[in-house]
Structure 1
Amino acid sequence: MSWNSNKGGNLPKPGSCRRRIPVKLILVMIGALFGLFYIKHRHVSRHHLSETKRHANDLEIPLWMRKDTALREETYFVKKGDTLENILLYMGVDKNVSSQIIDALSTLKGMKHLDIGDEITFYFDNNDLLQKIVYAASLADVYCVEKKDSGYVAYKVHIPVRRETALIKLEIKTSLYDAFIDAGETPLLVDQLVDILSWDIDFYSDLRKGDKVSVIVEKEFVGSEFFRYGRVLMVEYNGEVVSVAGAYFVGKDGVGGYYDSEGRSLAKNFLKTPVKFTRISSGFGMRVHPVTHMLKKHLGTDYAAPVGAPVWAMADGVILQKGYSRTNGNYIAIRHRNGYETYYLHLSRFHPSVSVGMRVRQKDIIGYVGATGLATGPHLHLGVKYRGEFIDPLKLKKVKEEVLGGDDLLKFKKYFDEMHLVISLDYESPFDMRGLFLDSYSGGDA
């Protein structure tokens, strides 16, 4: 994206752009199509400040939003590789002033890093001196820098965020992703559900047309504009191959997690798949190697996935090996409890934090899908050893470990039944979970 400054004030003469209209029209049409696709799949436009301004009456936050006709307003959209320093330089801000602004912003705790497409608005006086900056990192994360007698002062704008609880029920026709997009939701919710259900569901082989999904989820709004998803409070998946239900619950120890109707944690020893949204391109057993064309036993499972897709550790463990070989490409080996080891081959790159000997937790990102070594295309080869022998990863036992007990179990079962009732009775969204189940609600505050 680019900024639009017109600093010199030189506007084109009437008619001078006439020959360029077709090109501009094409660009506008392309931009419009891209915008529609982006908004459909991201849901929240990157024009955060404009949207927040549009809801100013609802928010009742105003001074920093009120247009000062004495100041010239210029907007910049963050591009790849931008830093605040080079943006200020690009906008013609004096180096001394730039230094003061960066120092002022460094005092803010938890300030979000610049992201591509973020909107920064600059306000200059008639002498081209910078008086104010408004940086909209999101609808609810807006930062201001203002010129005072003592210098430049930075602060975060308080923007009220309203939380609602919604019930979403749908049927799968092609994929989980398509079902939620068609229902007007975003990929961010699908990501949450995959994280919750990935211990029980293989999203390539287990899904069938006609499977039904019900979700109770918190949604946050700024004014009337959707901001982001909060906690998924409960999910029920009723399918031809697999059915699973889990509700979020915080026990006496203050730790939250997802549990089934009997209070058993959905988290297991091993994930069902180490990558999201994949298909199995080759299974365990004898096959003709796609590169060498020789008959050989395939000691693992290949998951076809795009280059750069994150790869998860299948379970808690210690990094045993990290390296490169002509056959395996970039690979990682992890040692787990009870005699298990897992191997991840053909990675495009490793996660920067990964090193031999370090401990990893289940679902930590350890690397990214690639096609290094002997590979015909991007995929992840997952190998599993048990007591020194390779076994079929798809037959790996995934035993449930944590089970609630005592008062926690009694409270959870009551809570689970009440949440299930909400799904069964088709409560109209939005609704207040605390209003329905005040004594057992343990929702998204933890």
Structure 2
Amino acid sequence: MDYRKLLHIPQNCFHKLVNNHLSLLGIAASLPLFGMATAFAVAQNGAQPAKPEVLQKEVTEQLSLPAFSFSESATRYWRDEAIQRGDTIARVLNRLGIRDSEANRFLHSSPLSKDLLKLKTGATVSVQTNDLGELFGLRFLNDDENGEQVLVAIEKVNGEWQASADPIATEAVQTVRSLPITRSVSAALAKAQVPRDIRAQLTEIFADQFNINSLGKGDRINLVYETLLYNGAPIAAGNLLAVEIKRAGKLHQAFYFAHDSESGAYYDAQGKPIKQGFSQQPVANARISSGFGFRKHPILRSLRLHSGVDYAAASGTPIIAPADGTLVKVERQNGYGNMVEIRHNQKMTTLYAHMSQFAKGARAGKSVKAGEVIGYVGSTGRSTGPHLHFEVRINGQAVDPATNALPTPGLSSTQLAEFKSGNRQLTAHLQLLRELPTNIALLD
């Protein structure tokens, strides 16, 4: 066989490919094959090369890794943990990797009642710790037997554990919300995480003018309300300071004005009352001695949400129904003492506590008229002296009686000037919210 002919094969192919421009694309793929054929021809023409001898050596050596050290910090920080069903304080601490035997011993012997140390599913417990797993404090909101909220605070001070009995200073900061209505009011409020008590206040402010649930797509709610901070963390909502509702192209505004340190009401931009309220108050000519909101409880010495208002009055002073309704409770309770509850409509109830005695014939199921006597001022239950504790609840949520039910007083010329002066900043907040594009408002 003439191997020289084999050497001409790639050359002939190359000339054919060059002459045919459609075959140029195949040159790159063909070159490796040509090299293989040429190498095969040369190899066959000479002697087989000897395979080099490969020497292998197996080496086994023990390698030592550098020492690893986890850098721990003694810096204290707060962690928030959601309370799950069946949780106890010990279980939450264990889940967080905190096993402080000294703290556990204090919790078992704490001066606080066992009921106050029970955790509510869905609530949040804040724990102060460090990377070493040491515990320095914890706090959470809880309800007592009367349904009033208390901030349970346990902390380590100067190396000693204690349950704080001092008043807890809270800082009020303004929170703004802009809620475009796309489906329903309740859905918009829930999406914006507006607190329950603010929602309850909102539903009642314009109740004399329209039902807030009548708002539909294209309407909008702008809110300015207080958020109460404790050590920089929000623990509750304060007053709803200003609200603006755009309904069917019309603006409705309301501004809160404090009459004194214990009570206030809502007025429009001109200072006219928004709500009529009840025609009478439960105790005639009595002053509110303690208002709605957070305060230091006079007996338990802890920060509590005062869920109503207190009227200072002498023992035996008549208590009247401020509006028509039906008695739903006439009974004695541990904290409230002798108490009466009246349902006025499908969503509103009122409660009267610490009575010395009930009115003659008062019983559950009986209808009462506005101005009818239902009992007398006393000091039964958990009370420091004769007074009436009065509550208003909307769909079961406690709200400020002064802004939701009691008669709204007109403003004097001095109060009106103070009202307009104080509203400048709130009006600016509402205007800013009004000008927010819808897509920006929805980002909150």
* TM range, smaller chain: 0.3 to 0.5
Mark the structure with the bigger radius of gyration: 2
Structure 2 length normalisation: TM-score?
Answer: 0.41
